[in-house]
Structure 1
Amino acid sequence: MAIGTLDAPMTPEQRQEIMPKEVPHTLRLYLEGKIEQFWFRADTGPIFLMNAESVEEAKAIVDDMPLVTGGLMKYQLWPVGPLAPLGLLIQGR
């Protein structure tokens, strides 16, 4: 999971300049399968369920996003995976 947080509210000028780059970039990542699902929280920002082999790969992906390269946003990354204890419920495991 990647949870984005703006460093400060964007000015209308910043929004007009960067969002036409950020939105297509996010859409490309979704279509490439790097972002599987996404949500938005008004108090923090975007939340992405990512498809990456490692936290390092996920970090490289979000670090290349226009809001991050523009110095406006940071992401906190949390590795998540299948709920492994459910396997205990399957007989023979």
Structure 2
Amino acid sequence: MMKVMAIGTLKPLTPEQQRAYMPKEVPATLQLYLDGKMEQFWLRDQAKGVIFLMNVDSVDEANTLLKALPLGRDNLLTFDLMQIGPLMPLRLLVNAA
């Protein structure tokens, strides 16, 4: 299992699109949380998108899960994905003590 930071950019939605997508998007996102695939989530400044911290087996799995969300399926929410982990150089400080 690895951690992936997913930085999402939301295309501007019309009020009609918001009413159509959000009742499906929010429960689908919460299901990823309940399934243990999403650890934390935040709203980006000025509602430009979201940031998800995910627990997945690969960056490809994160991509597949996010593209399956309603906004992802219709390319209204796109993500930059990056594997993240501990700051390994900190081991040098621990070992030096």
Please give the TM-score of this superposition, normalised by the length of structure 2: 0.85
Match of 2:22 among 11, 19, 22: 19
2:37 is matched with 34
Q: Secondary structure at the match of 1:2?
A: strand
Q: % of aligned pairs identical? A: 55
Residue type matched to 1:87 in 2? R
Q: Secondary structure at the match of 2:84?
A: coil
2:64 is matched with 60
- Give, in angstroms, the shift of residue 43 of structure 1: 5.3
- Give, in angstroms, the shift of residue 78 of structure 1: 1.4
Number of equivalenced pairs: 91
1:70 is matched with 74
Please give the TM-score of this superposition, normalised by the length of structure 1: 0.88
Unaligned runs of 5+ in 1: none
Q: Secondary structure at the match of 2:83?
A: coil
- Give, in angstroms, the shift of residue 65 of structure 1: 0.8
Deviations 1:3-36 (A, max 9, x none): 11123x1011100011000000010101111110
CA separation in 2, counterparts of 1:79 and 1:53? 10
Residue type matched to 1:37 in 2? Q
Match of 1:44 among 27, 43, 48: 48
